Amino acid sequence: MGKTYPFTKMHGLGNCYIYLDGIANHLDIPSPAELSVKVSDPFRGIGSDGMILILPSEQADVCMRIFNKDGSEARNCGNGLRCVARYVYEQGYVPTRRFTIETLSGNKRAEVHLRDGRVDQVTVDMGVPILERSRIPVAGGNGRQMVIREPLRVNHEDYTFTAVSMGNPHALFFVNDVDAAPIHQLGRLLADTYPLFPEGVNVGFVHLLSDHELDYRVWERGSGITQACGTGACASVVASILESRIEKDTPVTVHLAGGSLSIEWRSSDDHVFMTGSAEVICKGIYYEL
């Protein structure tokens, strides 16, 4: 018999990952990328958008490593952060309701909100948005400038997009109807191999409903269409503010396919805060034969 991995499957608004606990268990994983591909497979594995490892940290209270369903490693994941926060609090790995989580994009502050002694909602400080072209990154142009309403011609069609990084890159397209948006066409073309985005990009579509509410859909690099993307929801609000569609310091409800998040970009410290749910689906043991 091969190796066995106890797992917890969790989701944030339908964005589901397989979580492996490397604090309680010794995780002997020669290739996390390969294991993520295997467990994500809905027919031969468990089925998910990827795999997240929960690990000890020398610089924060806990650490998370995020692997997409294609095996690529992500720098950040908003829905994953909330799920990790709930998990480590309920397992007693952190002493208070406020703590820090190490990611490849830096340490993130989290706070769990309780109802009847259980975690009901989680707020995560997603940090300061990255807006410089070269740091997002978007190829070409002046690397120190922001990418706001930039023209893009694809397959004889003209678009404009605004680019934001929340630890991972996002290209945001404003549309009149997210359900009619060209998510398959642009997502497949831009997300993983398009030269304009040298590290790939999450392709998001935004429909502003009011100055405090919007619809958002996304094609995530390495995963395709997902039910929700926490960093993308944050990026959609930042892009809306950059395009002067809404103002800072306004909590915005972002409706995704899997549910809604509350996002606020605050002037006081320029940080973006995200609040939403985190749910346990099931627990089990994965057998790697």
Torsion, Cα of 168, 113, 101, 42 (10° steps): -60
107 annotated binding-site participant: no
Whose structure tokens read 């490593």? Answer: 65
- Domains of the chain: total: 2
For residue 288, the model assigns a pLDDT of 85
Q: Does residue 34 have a known ligand-binding role?
A: no
Tell me whether residue 83 is one of the annotated catalytic residues. Answer: no
Angle, in degrees to the nearest 10, between helices 78-90 and 230-242: 130
pLDDT score at 42: 96
pLDDT confidence of residue 1: 58
The first and second tokens of residue 169, run together, are: 């890159």
Residue 134 lies in a domain: no
Is 229 designated active site? yes
Q: Are residues 209 and 262 in the same domain?
A: yes
Catalytic residue among 16, 77, 83, 234: 77
Tens of pLDDT, residues 197-232 = 999 999 999 999 999 999 999 999 999 999 999 999
User: Looking at the domain assignment, is residue 145 inside a domain?
Assistant: no
Same domain, 80 and 26: yes
The CATH number of the domain where 191 resides is what? 3.10.310.10
* pLDDT value for 208: 97
Beta pairing partners, 264: 273
Asked whether the beta carbons of 51 and 83 are under 8 A apart, the reply is no
Residue 230 in marked binding region: yes
Length of the chain: 289
Indicate whether 178 belongs to any domain.
Answer: yes
Domain membership of residue 139 (yes or no) is no
Low-confidence ranges of the chain (pLDDT < 50): none
Residue 11 in tokens: 């989701």
168 in a known ligand binding site = yes
3-state secondary structure of 150: strand
Residue range of the domain that includes 182:
150-270
Q: Are residues 265 and 213 part of one domain?
A: yes
